Amino acid sequence: NAGVTQTPKFRILKIGQSMTLQCTQDMNHNYMYWYRQDPGMGLKLIYYSVGAGITDKGEVPNGYNVSRSTTEDFPLRLELAAPSQTSVYFCASSPHERQTYGYTFGSGTRLTVV
């Protein structure tokens, strides 16, 4: 059981470049989330999805886009990368909207924009 898989683990982007962070879960969870973690800060919600075809903005959505064409996949797209997007990105999933037993997180993608 792989859980939540994120790729790549590390990436360096130049300012203005674009990339897609991949996230796949094999637990048939309806709810999926993208968070970013900056040094000394808590996790901030970027986007979330309550099921295939349904996505919505979180606290810090600017500069990002998402799609959810299948239950398993929830990619995060960065267009025109900026230094402010240097962060560690975590994808998470949950079977319920209320995280009664917590989210299942991926191992993260460390992104540096130079």
The residues of the shown chain that bind another protein, judged by CB under 8 A, are 4, 6, 9, 35, 40-45, 50, 56, 90, 92, 97-108
Residue placing its CB nearer to another protein in the complex, 28 or 100: 100
Residue placing its CB nearer to another protein in the complex, 83 or 96: 96
Q: DSSP states of 46-90 as a string?
A: EEEEEETTEEEE-S--TTEEE--SSSSB--EEE-S--GGG-EEEE
Q: How far is the CB of 43 from another protein (least distance, A)?
A: 4
- Contact between residue 81 and residue 17 where contact means Cβ atoms under 8 Å apart: yes
Q: How far is the CB of 79 from another protein (least distance, A)?
A: 25
Structure tokens at 30: 């309806």
Burial class of residue 75, CB neighbours in 10 A (0-12, 13-18, 19+) = middle
Residue placing its CB nearer to another protein in the complex, 25 or 71: 25
Q: How far is the CB of 18 from another protein (least distance, A)?
A: 24
Residue placing its CB nearer to another protein in the complex, 12 or 80: 12
